[in-house]
Chains A and B, each alone.
Chain A
Amino acid sequence: MTLVLLFILPLAAGAFAWALARRDETLCRWVLALALALGLLQTAWIWVTATPSSSSWLAEAQWPWIPSLGISFHLAVDGLSLLMVGLSYLLGLAAVLASWSSIRERVGLFHFLLGAVLTGILGVFMAIDLFLLYFAWELMLIPMVFLIALWGHENRRYAALKFALFTQAGGLLLLLSILGLHFAHGHATGVYTFAYSELLGARLGPTAALWLALGFFVAFAIKLPAVPLHTWLPDAHTEAPTAGSMILAGLLLKTGGYGLIRFMLPLFPEAAERLAPAAMVLGVVGILYGALLAFAQTDLKRLVAYTSVSHLGFVLLGVFARNDEGLRGAVVQMLCHGLSTGALFMLVGALQDRLGTRDMRRMGGLWAKAPALSIAVLLFALASLGLPGMGNFVGEFLVLLGTYRVSAALAAVGSVGLILAAAYALRMMQVAFFGRAPEGLELPDLGLRERAVIAAMVLVLLWIGLFAQPVLMAATPAVGMAHSEQGTVLHPIPLARDGMGTVPAPSERGNAP
């Protein structure tokens, strides 16, 4: 029951807010913000009170929907989905707070659409009936298209259309694959169902499995996005309003990664193994190419958008390493990227609202004018480039370590991404924030509301960066279903430990050879 409430909360609150907006726009914002905060607390409550039970799900809710077709309304969360749900509520709240003063027309509709998108995203993260998954997948799309098209920037129509076309194409492939799986399973066992747990055991011929897996893969790869399916992202992220960009970058992209870990890998393990080398290469290409593109941009928002391509290349790489470190690293990377890029979009959006431009060539010396804003951007830029101490480093390190176990060459090439990330992050600081400000540039600094949000995000990132263990352990059930030790070339030597779990202290090292 709580899960259903958790799922429907943003949509319901959004609808309520829309109705209220006629009377009082501020009340409308408060309603949605409070609802999202409530959802966040609820998620934290589930986390804290989670007791290990026989099934790997922390919470479950199932209602029959269309039994004759094998469709049920089945939601469930485990550690991974709970993390994603938490991220969704947190970023949703941040998005509402970020658009507090910048969205002025059709406020009610805006908040309703925000709520609808969030519900769709939550559905994707919580659904374990494939039909429900597809339903939520489509639900994510339409409100976002409107958000971009109605409140976006100069090129919004083009960007919204491009986004819609790309995502819909992926959605179509997803639908076809889901149906294919449904029917294949049905032919083989006589049971026609869309339930995840049943379909896990589906036995498919290798060719059929490969094609179905490919359908899933392409759908999620478009969302992730993987090069060369990524070109919708810069336009969509750049033209979307601030809240839209935050949710796009912070959440929508994660649905791709989540889909790979939760659905594609466990449902089609042999196909995943066959696809893995190509997918990992695509991941590395994404890391490098995204960084190269980010470096050259003059539009600040577009630069941040391309960094998303680069960071999610790490996720793709880690997922298809299909080993423990790679998958956990991918999870951490998803979480931390959502936070850091969400924050960056918020800050860049704030900058655009104040300056009226996104062109870095017209900026410069902003540090002197708005130190708090600049420090915040610096912090998240450092997170982007993988500075140890922030969560992104943990994610990237584990992904590359997992990759190393499969292919040292890929890990080495992927590590070049660390250098390129430094290049674009520092260039952003150099061009926009250091140097001398142009004449007559006015820039009010961050307000209290914005500082609070940024502080919260920084603290979470630092916490994950230094105390990564709880997050890593939360992903265990999902990782367990997705990983495979085949293809892992390097097995570590077992650690020799004494009974206390510590290595016996060495004598003075002069005795070492």
Chain B
Amino acid sequence: MLDVALIPGLPLAGFVILALVGSRLPRRAVAIIGVGSVGLSAAWALLFGAALIASHDVHQSQTLWTWMALPHFEAAIGLSLDRLSLVMVWVVTGVGFLTHLYSIAFMADDEDYARFFAYMNLFVGSMLVLVLADDLLLLYLGWEGVGLCSYLLIAFWYRDPKNVRAAVKAFLVTRIGDAAMAVGLFLLAAYTGTLRIDDLMLRLPHTFPAGAPVVVAAAALLLAGAVGKSAQLPLQVWLPDAMAGPTPVSALIHAATMVTAGVYLIARMQLVFNMAPAVMAVVAWIGLATLLLAGLSALAQRDLKRILAYSTISQLGYMFLALGVGAWTAAIFHLVTHAFFKALLFLCAGVVIKSLHDEHDIAAMGGLRRHMPLVFGAFTVGAASLAGLPLVTAGFYSKDAILQAAWASGPHAAWLWAVALVGALVTSVYAFRALFVVFLGETRREPARVSSLAMSVPLVVLAALALLAGFVQTPSQLGGISVFGGFVGPAVGGQVGQGGGGPGWLLLVASGASLLGLLIAWVLYVRRPATFARLADAPAWVALRQFALEGFGFDRLYDTMIVQPFVYLTRANVGDFVDWLYVCLAEVARLLHGLMSRAQTGRVRWYAAGIALGALLMLGLVVLR
């Protein structure tokens, strides 16, 4: 009955082999093991999942062994496959396999080839454990595991201290969320004696009324964990710096999978969140604020990967918005499409950066469409999907589903929808800005030839998915297809906005925003009117752009308020002030010693006097008593 266990088991086995003997194997073997384990897992997940769907019995649960069984608390290592986790598994293994394939060529010159694939396999294995866990404690194991792999992979090129600093930042910021999440786990375990998700879903509604403080606290703490992992406000500062890792890492971990773990967690625990409407509102508002701020930051960036990083934060904000308004299926739908087009964009960016000898600044790029037409085509598809170009891209359908859900969400719906729409416009602008600046115009630097089959195939596949994956879920005005909603819905519950309950003009406005963004980007970055150039140099504008570039000051805020004082205080106390107490004690002893030894003069007369005095005192005592 180990069918489900094979899915994470294969990549984990790959990790073990590569970790132990990888450095002694030839490159080919490493590639076969590294990519093959994920590929096999993907194939198996596809087949197994399809078989389950065909037999209409998608819910599978396997308890592998008991982890802890105490009188008041139990935890088991168990895997559970249902529709939601099946979708996640497909995304993780699918995009994972393509990224691994791409890495064969991308990392081919790197001397730590085996180490890279070992870490990547460990990551895929941990992510699958996270997604398949049927117990929150096991999920937490996977959660921390992916955090570890993220750290190891960001710091993969460890010789550069900058990379290591970025890795530490990523780990610590997400750890803050993780610690809060752990407290949430304690809370749930203390009240129910279990962290098994099925048990919790059964017992919590029976034990607590909706809105009970316990449930609200649990939801809020779980949200904190999700906010950390998914780089939402206020814990979003780690993701842009995480771009220091190799591009496949950015594509897989920091776009398609690990950062979506927060979204998955909230979707999985939706019962808890449903019982805490206040927290749901917070989710939505966090998502909203994040999507706008990150989008604006993306607009100001010059580093290609940082544009994509902020874009990821922004798109995750959309997912959080969807979750917050109860559109669970829409959130997962966007998660899936985003995984495709964002991974695609990152992989294209990888080719570009590598071919320009590690150049990240888009201002130094240009005219690359002539030199790498395939990449250009792929990037165009990706950018279009990101911008949500109407009708033909997957991004359009998923983003529209979210906008529809925001419109229908109840109080403040207008605000949510309006800001999300503005965000869509901004998204379109920066997406096409990147496309136009990098690929159009004149060639500033000659790129080297880097592309190979291993890199091209994933690009093509992802491009196809970025275009076609949207057609599983369309609004009612455009065909009302509801394959995705119908599939995932029962596992996740809640409305889907399926077919979009909203009026038709919402579609038009959304399309309009996306096209308007395209137009603006065309005008600003291809036509380049002189007025824009003059405006761009105005000091107020420059300052604003700098502020947006730095992520609206969050980094600086945290640095001044938390990091610097912390480092200063701990450094000042290196010698441990508590030790002073004991040093003082020792000094007092030394002092007393000094005093006492004054009595030891070594002189006979002194001692004689002492004897006489003592005798006198004692006689006096005896006589006067």
Determine whether A and B are in direct contact in the complex, meaning some CB atoms lie less than 8 angstroms apart.
yes
- CB nearest neighbor in B for A365: B159
- Indicate which residue in B151, B190, B201 contacts A512 across the interface (CB closer than 8 Å): B201
- Which chain A positions have C-beta within 8 A of B161? 430, 434-436
- Using A231-B582, A510-B490 as known contacts, say yes or no to A400 and B186 having CB atoms under 8 A apart: yes
- Using A388-B144, A400-B186 as known contacts, say yes or no to A419 and B191 having CB atoms under 8 A apart: no
> Which of these binds chain A: B47-55, B62-70, B362-370?
B62-70
Q: In whole angstroms, how far apart are the Cα atoms of A389 and B582 in the complex?
A: 40
Q: Is B570 an interface residue (CB 8 A)?
A: yes
- Which chain A positions have C-beta within 8 A of B271? 512-513
Proximity bits, A136-171, B CB within 8 Å = 1, else 0 = 000000000000000000000000001000000000
- Using A493-B191, A503-B198, A513-B274 as known contacts, say yes or no to A394 and B205 having CB atoms under 8 A apart: no
Q: Is B46 an interface residue (CB 8 A)?
A: no
- Which chain A positions have C-beta within 8 A of B574? 293, 296-298
- Which chain A positions have C-beta within 8 A of B13? none
Is B179 in contact with A419, judged by CB distance below 8 angstroms? Answer: yes
- Which chain A positions have C-beta within 8 A of B66? 469
Q: Is B581 an interface residue (CB 8 A)?
A: yes
CB contacts under 8 Å to B, within A387-418, are 387-389, 393-394, 397-398, 400-401, 404-405, 408, 411-412, 415-416, 418
Is A411 in contact with B165, judged by CB distance below 8 angstroms? Answer: no
Q: Is B472 an interface residue (CB 8 A)?
A: no
Q: Is B511 an interface residue (CB 8 A)?
A: no
- Which chain B positions have C-beta within 8 A of A426? 151, 167-168, 171-172
Is A388 in contact with B140, judged by CB distance below 8 angstroms? Answer: yes
Q: Is A444 an interface residue (CB 8 A)?
A: no
- Which chain A positions have C-beta within 8 A of B182? 397, 400, 415, 418
- Which chain B positions have C-beta within 8 A of A365? 158-159
Is B148 in contact with A495, judged by CB distance below 8 angstroms? Answer: no
Is B144 in contact with A387, judged by CB distance below 8 angstroms? Answer: yes
- Using A401-B186, A419-B176, A467-B65 as known contacts, say yes or no to A490 and B202 having CB atoms under 8 A apart: no
Proximity bits, B566-579, A CB within 8 Å = 1, else 0 = 01011101101011
Is A434 in contact with B179, judged by CB distance below 8 angstroms? Answer: no
Q: Is A227 an interface residue (CB 8 A)?
A: yes
Q: Is B546 an interface residue (CB 8 A)?
A: no
- CB nearest neighbor in B for A503: B199
Q: Is A203 an interface residue (CB 8 A)?
A: no
Is B570 in contact with A492, judged by CB distance below 8 angstroms? Answer: no
- Indicate which residue in B183, B191, B492 contacts A411 across the interface (CB closer than 8 Å): B183
- CB nearest neighbor in B for A467: B65
Q: Is B61 an interface residue (CB 8 A)?
A: yes
- Which chain B positions have C-beta within 8 A of A382? 148
Q: In whole angstroms, how far apart are the Cα atoms of A495 and B70 in the complex?
A: 12
> Which of these binds chain A: B26-34, B72-80, B404-412, B458-466?
B72-80
| Tally of contacts, chain A with chain B, CB under 8 A | 181
Q: Output the least CB separation between A484 and chain B (Å).
A: 14
Q: Is B189 an interface residue (CB 8 A)?
A: yes
- Which chain A positions have C-beta within 8 A of B400? none
Q: Is B59 an interface residue (CB 8 A)?
A: yes
- Which chain B positions have C-beta within 8 A of A129? none
- Using A401-B189, A434-B164 as known contacts, say yes or no to A293 and B72 having CB atoms under 8 A apart: no
Q: Is A505 an interface residue (CB 8 A)?
A: yes
- CB nearest neighbor in A for B143: A388
Proximity bits, A413-448, B CB within 8 Å = 1, else 0 = 001101100110011001001111000000000000
Is A506 in contact with B201, judged by CB distance below 8 angstroms? Answer: yes
Proximity bits, B68-102, A CB within 8 Å = 1, else 0 = 11111110010000100000000000000000000
Is A416 in contact with B179, judged by CB distance below 8 angstroms? Answer: yes
- Indicate which residue in B141, B179, B567, B576 contacts A293 across the interface (CB closer than 8 Å): B576
Q: Is A86 an interface residue (CB 8 A)?
A: no
- Which chain B positions have C-beta within 8 A of A389? 141, 144-145
- Which chain B positions have C-beta within 8 A of A296? 567, 570-571, 573-574
- CB nearest neighbor in B for A404: B186
Q: In whole angstroms, how far apart are the Cα atoms of A418 and B185 in the complex?
A: 14
Is B274 in contact with A418, judged by CB distance below 8 angstroms? Answer: no
- Using A466-B67, A510-B490 as known contacts, say yes or no to A493 and B192 having CB atoms under 8 A apart: yes
- Which chain B positions have C-beta within 8 A of A513? 205, 271, 274
- Which chain A positions have C-beta within 8 A of B570? 292-293, 295-296
Q: Is B137 an interface residue (CB 8 A)?
A: yes
Is A387 in contact with B71, judged by CB distance below 8 angstroms? Answer: no
Q: In whole angstroms, how far apart are the Cα atoms of A360 and B581 in the complex?
A: 28
- Indicate which residue in B137, B167, B490, B573 contacts A397 across the interface (CB closer than 8 Å): B137
Q: In whole angstroms, how far apart are the Cα atoms of A423 and B165 in the complex?
A: 12
Q: Is B229 an interface residue (CB 8 A)?
A: no
Q: Is B277 an interface residue (CB 8 A)?
A: no
Q: Output the least CB separation between A422 and chain B (Å).
A: 5
CB contacts under 8 Å to A, within B129-176, are 137, 140-141, 144-145, 148, 151, 155, 158-159, 161, 164-165, 167-168, 171-172, 175-176
Is B168 in contact with A430, judged by CB distance below 8 angstroms? Answer: yes
Q: Is A47 an interface residue (CB 8 A)?
A: no
- Using A227-B578, A295-B570 as known contacts, say yes or no to A469 and B69 having CB atoms under 8 A apart: yes
Proximity bits, A92-117, B CB within 8 Å = 1, else 0 = 00000000000000000000000000
Is B493 in contact with A510, judged by CB distance below 8 angstroms? Answer: yes
Is A509 in contact with B207, judged by CB distance below 8 angstroms? Answer: no
Q: In whole angstroms, how far apart are the Cα atoms of A404 and B202 in the complex?
A: 23
Q: In whole angstroms, how far apart are the Cα atoms of A296 and B574 in the complex?
A: 6
Q: In whole angstroms, how far apart are the Cα atoms of A415 and B66 in the complex?
A: 25
- CB nearest neighbor in B for A371: B23
Is A388 in contact with B141, judged by CB distance below 8 angstroms? Answer: yes
- Using A467-B65, A510-B489 as known contacts, say yes or no to A325 and B72 having CB atoms under 8 A apart: yes
Is A508 in contact with B179, judged by CB distance below 8 angstroms? Answer: no
CB contacts under 8 Å to B, within A460-492, are 466-469, 472, 490-492
Q: In whole angstroms, how far apart are the Cα atoms of A190 and B569 in the complex?
A: 57
- CB nearest neighbor in B for A422: B175
Is A368 in contact with B159, judged by CB distance below 8 angstroms? Answer: yes
Q: In whole angstroms, how far apart are the Cα atoms of A193 and B57 in the complex?
A: 68
- CB nearest neighbor in A for B180: A415
Q: Output the least CB separation between A42 and chain B (Å).
A: 28
Q: Is B399 an interface residue (CB 8 A)?
A: no
- Indicate which residue in B137, B172, B191 contacts A422 across the interface (CB closer than 8 Å): B172
- Which chain B positions have C-beta within 8 A of A430? 161, 164-165, 168
Is B168 in contact with A427, judged by CB distance below 8 angstroms? Answer: yes
- Which chain A positions have C-beta within 8 A of B203? 493, 496
Q: Is A228 an interface residue (CB 8 A)?
A: yes
Q: In whole angstroms, how far apart are the Cα atoms of A216 and B445 in the complex?
A: 75
CB contacts under 8 Å to B, within A226-280, are 227-228, 230-231, 234
- Which chain B positions have C-beta within 8 A of A325? 70, 72-73
Task: Report which B residues bind A (CB closer than 8 A).
Answer: 23, 59, 61, 65-74, 77, 82, 137, 140-141, 144-145, 148, 151, 155, 158-159, 161, 164-165, 167-168, 171-172, 175-176, 178-180, 182-183, 185-187, 189-194, 196, 198-199, 201-203, 205, 207, 271, 274, 489-493, 567, 569-571, 573-574, 576, 578-579, 581-582
24 pairs across A/B with beta carbons < 8 Å?
A234-B576, A292-B573, A295-B570, A298-B574, A387-B148, A389-B145, A401-B190, A405-B190, A411-B183, A411-B186, A412-B183, A418-B178, A419-B179, A422-B175, A430-B164, A434-B159, A469-B68, A490-B190, A493-B192, A493-B203, A495-B199, A496-B203, A509-B201, A509-B492
Given A231-B579, A388-B145, A508-B491, 12 new contacts (CB under 8 A): A162-B582, A293-B576, A296-B570, A367-B158, A389-B144, A400-B183, A415-B179, A415-B182, A426-B168, A436-B159, A508-B59, A510-B490
Q: Which 7 A-B pairs have the closest CB atoms?
A: A492-B193, A510-B490, A388-B141, A296-B570, A404-B186, A434-B158, A231-B579
